[in-house]
């Protein structure tokens, strides 16, 4: 019996991070051969490039989990291979002859700022959260050649979720470090993240007002109590809702106490302030909370906010992949629970690409749920469409094309050298 005959199915998994590694682990345990395609060198997704770099312990733990799952029997890893970029989605089904495809490609596109013409000012006053946090996490690395940003005091952040608070924290920590540097103090940013700005300044004997910083402001279209910083249970009773609202307020107040940013709720961006080809700020309309908790614009109350930089942090949506149906910003699904993609009976989405939730546990849990459903679909006697040999020929050919020799740990060690040398500087 050939090695391939032992597998119940050949499954392509797009994306090797939290959701992709979980799906590979579960499906390999259920007897499938899983091939994980990862567009980047490293498979850590938002754990590496989204979660701000100060979450060191969490990041290392998640890296370990991903490494373990991607190196188990029955899982083959192909780095540096974007589906839709290097291999088309169609090829997976027609040339590689996979029986099933799992999309675990996350949400890497920033939801566009909903003001007409705003995107014409990207990097000319307007910055989106995903490249900004990527820059923050990587710009200290030797040889870094990604997006580059200057931190400006008085930046306006549009958002309201946890990620937008992280953006405000980055701005406050970076600008405080800059000011201390001007005074000859080389303050470690990551230590200041732990201690908070007031305690750090106190240790240096410098009052905040002496730094001459205005700080950034976070603009949110609803009330502080509505910020998605803590989730209410489904069908929450009024007293449960009141508790959650109090938790949200406390989370925000704690972050403001430690990092000194301002928050201005009940404002929605409606226009651009421009000067030549630069964005100079935003025009906001006052909102009130209407039916179903929606933000409704109050006619006639406007404020113009001049700002040297605007950062939009209003959520991330999936990058479209040619061949997959979309419903506006999102993947078109038959049902969210099982992630089945409309018009296909063998393509499923899991994790952030479906949930849209910026949460590791939610991504992993959804991926497990989808993988268990898919494992049940594989009958006891199911066999793959393609021979093991023909699939492995494709796998080896693509691995070779990107310089990956099949040894996961060697590869990760090799592509991580730059990051390591930066962290020891
Ligand atoms: C600022 C910020 C702060 C956060 N803070 C927290 C926090 O404190 N706690 C928490 O639990 N969560 C937090 N999160 C959210 C968490 O990081 C994500 O929800 C989670 O990592 C998503 O996992 P995923 O595997 O679903 O997606 P991702 O991590 O996005 O993985 C998708 C993978 O697919 C790859 N990929 C994409 N497209 C392709 C393609 N076409 N071909 C091949 N590969 C592809 C990507 O490179 C990536 O490796 C935060 C996120 C952000 C942005």
Nearest CA to ligand 1 atom 1: 163
Domain 111-312 top-level CATH class: alpha beta
Angle between the N-to-C axes of helices 238-259 and 162-182, in degrees from 0 to 180, rounded to the nearest 10: 10
Query: Ligand 1 pocket test: which of 51, 88, 366 has the largest number of ligand atoms within 8 Å of its C-beta?
Result: 51
Q: Where are the domains of the chain?
A: 3-108+318-423, 111-312
Torsion angles phi and psi, residue 194, rounded to 5: -75, -45
Query: How far apart are the CA of 17 and the centre of ligand 1, in A?
Result: 7
Whole-number pLDDT of residue 231:
87
- Residue 274, Cα to own-chain centre: how many angstroms? 30
Which pLDDT does position 416 carry in this prediction? Answer: 84
Residue 230 has phi, psi (to 5 degrees) of: -150, 140
- Ligand 1 atom nearest to CA at 108: 30
Task: Give the integer Cα–Cα distance in Å for 147 and 291.
Answer: 41
Atom 10, ligand 1: residue with shortest CA distance: 359
pLDDT per residue of the chain (425 residues) written in tens, 0 to 9: 345 458 999 999 999 999 999 999 999 999 999 999 999 999 999 999 999 999 999 999 999 999 999 999 999 999 999 999 999 999 999 999 999 999 999 999 999 999 999 999 999 999 999 999 999 999 999 889 999 999 999 999 999 999 999 999 999 999 999 999 999 999 999 999 999 999 999 999 999 999 999 999 999 999 999 999 998 888 889 999 999 999 999 999 999 999 999 999 999 999 999 999 999 999 999 999 999 889 999 999 999 999 999 999 999 999 999 999 999 988 999 999 999 999 999 999 999 999 777 789 999 999 999 999 999 999 888 899 999 999 999 999 999 999 999 999 999 999 986 454 443 33
Q: Which of 58, 63, 360 has the most ligand 1 atoms within 8 A of CB, as the residue to mutate?
A: 360
- Per-residue CA distances from 419 to 50, 118, 267 (Å): 15, 34, 40
* Angle, helix 408-415 to helix 56-70, in steps of 10 degrees: 150
**Residue 356, pLDDT score:** 79
381 with 359: CB under 8 angstroms? no
Name residue 75's beta-bridge partners.
34
What pLDDT is recorded for position 292?
Answer: 87
DSSP-based three-state secondary structure for 281: strand
Nearest residue by C-alpha to atom 23 in ligand 1: 18
Cα separation of 248 and 294, whole Å?
18
Dist CA 28 CA 351 (whole Å): 18
Q: Which residues line ligand 1 (CB under 6 A)?
A: 14-20, 37-40, 43, 45-47, 50-52, 82-84, 104-106, 108, 133, 162-163, 166, 319, 321, 351-352, 358-361, 363
Structure tokens at 97: 């002859």
Q: Is 119 strand, coil or helix?
A: helix
pLDDT given at position 6: 85
C-alpha span between 32 and 87 (Å, rounded):
21
* pLDDT at residue number 341: 97
Which pair of tokens denotes residue 241? Answer: 């809702």
| Nearest atom in ligand 1 to 166's CA | 1
For 210-228, b where at least 16 C-beta lie within 10 A, e where not — what string? ebebebbbbbbbbbbbbbb
* C-beta of residue 353 within 8 angstroms of C-beta of residue 105: yes
- Please check whether residue 272 is in contact with residue 120, taking contact to mean a CB–CB distance below 8 angstroms: no
- Please compute Rg for the chain using Cα positions: 24
CA distance 68 to 90: 29
Q: Are 78 and 39 in contact (CB under 8 A)?
A: no
pLDDT for the residue 424 = 36
Task: Return the half-sphere exposure (C-beta side, CA atoms, 13 A cut-off) of residue 57.
Answer: 1
CATH number of 3-108+318-423: 3.40.50.720
Protein residue with least CA distance to atom 42, ligand 1:
82
Nearest CA to ligand 1 atom 20: 360
Residue nearest to atom 30 of ligand 1 (CA): 106
CA distance 219 to 167: 12
Residue nearest to atom 4 of ligand 1 (CA): 51
Q: What is the DSSP-derived secondary structure letter of residue 18?
A: H
Asked if the domains at 3-108+318-423 and 111-312 fall in one CATH topology, the answer is no
* Residue 4 vs residues 31, 33, 51, 252: alpha-carbon distances, Å: 11, 8, 38, 54
Q: Are the CB atoms for 41 and 422 separated by under 8 Å?
A: no
Q: Which residue has the tokens 């209003």?
A: 314
Torsions phi, psi for 250 (to 5 deg) = -65, -40
Q: How far is the CA of 325 from the centre of ligand 1 (A)?
A: 21
- Ligand 1 midpoint to CA 146 (Å): 18
Residues 412 and 404: their CA atoms lie apart, in Å, by 10
Which atom from ligand 1 is nearest to the alpha carbon of 43? 49
Nearest to 391 by CA among 161, 92, 70: 92
């Amino acid at each position: 019996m050939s090695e391939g005959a032992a597998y119940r199915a050949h499954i392509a998994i797009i994306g090797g991070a939290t959701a992709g590694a979980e799906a590979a682990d579960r499906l390999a345990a259920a007897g499938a051969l899983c091939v994980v395609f990862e567009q980047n060198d490293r498979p850590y997704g938002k754990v590496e490039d989204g979660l701000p770099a100060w979450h060191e312990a969490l990041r290392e733990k998640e890296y370990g989990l991903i490494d373990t799952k991607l190196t188990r029997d029955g899982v083959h890893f192909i780095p540096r291979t974007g589906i839709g970029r290097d291999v088309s989605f169609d090829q997976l089904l027609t040339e590689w002859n996979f029986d099933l495809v799992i999309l675990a490609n996350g949400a890497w596109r920033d939801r566009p700022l909903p003001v007409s013409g705003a995107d014409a000012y990207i990097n000319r006053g307007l910055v989106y959260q995903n490249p900004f946090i990527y820059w923050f996490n990587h710009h200290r690395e030797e040889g870094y050649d990604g997006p580059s940003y200057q931190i400006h005091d008085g930046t306006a952040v549009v958002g309201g979720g946890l990620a937008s608070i992280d953006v405000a924290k980055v701005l406050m920590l970076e600008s405080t470090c800059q000011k201390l540097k001007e005074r000859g103090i080389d303050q470690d940013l990551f230590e200041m993240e732990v201690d908070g700005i007031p305690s750090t300044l106190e240790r240096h004997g410098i009052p905040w007002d002496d730094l001459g910083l205005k700080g950034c402001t976070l603009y949110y279209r609803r009330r502080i109590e509505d910020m998605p910083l803590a989730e209410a249970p489904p069908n929450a009773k009024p007293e449960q809702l009141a508790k959650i609202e109090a938790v949200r307020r406390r989370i925000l107040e704690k972050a403001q106490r430690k990092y000194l940013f301002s928050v201005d709720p009940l404002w929605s961006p409606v226009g651009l302030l421009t000067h030549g080809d630069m964005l100079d700020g935003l025009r906001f309309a006052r909102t009130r909370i209407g039916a179903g908790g929606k933000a409704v614009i109050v006619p006639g109350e406007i404020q113009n906010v001049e700002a040297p930089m605007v950062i939009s942090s209003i959520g991330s949506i999936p990058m479209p992949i040619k061949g997959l149906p979309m419903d506006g910003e999102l993947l078109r699904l038959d049902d969210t629970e099982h992630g089945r993609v409309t018009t296909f009976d063998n393509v499923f989405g899991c994790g952030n690409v479906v949930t849209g939730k910026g949460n590791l546990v939610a991504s992993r849990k959804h991926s497990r749920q989808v993988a268990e459903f898919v494992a049940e679909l594989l009958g006891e006697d199911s066999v793959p469409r393609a021979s093991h040999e023909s699939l492995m020929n494709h796998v080896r050919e693509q691995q070779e094309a990107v310089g990956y020799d099949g040894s996961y740990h060697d590869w990760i060690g090799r592509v991580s050298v730059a990051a390591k040398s930066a962290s020891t500087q």
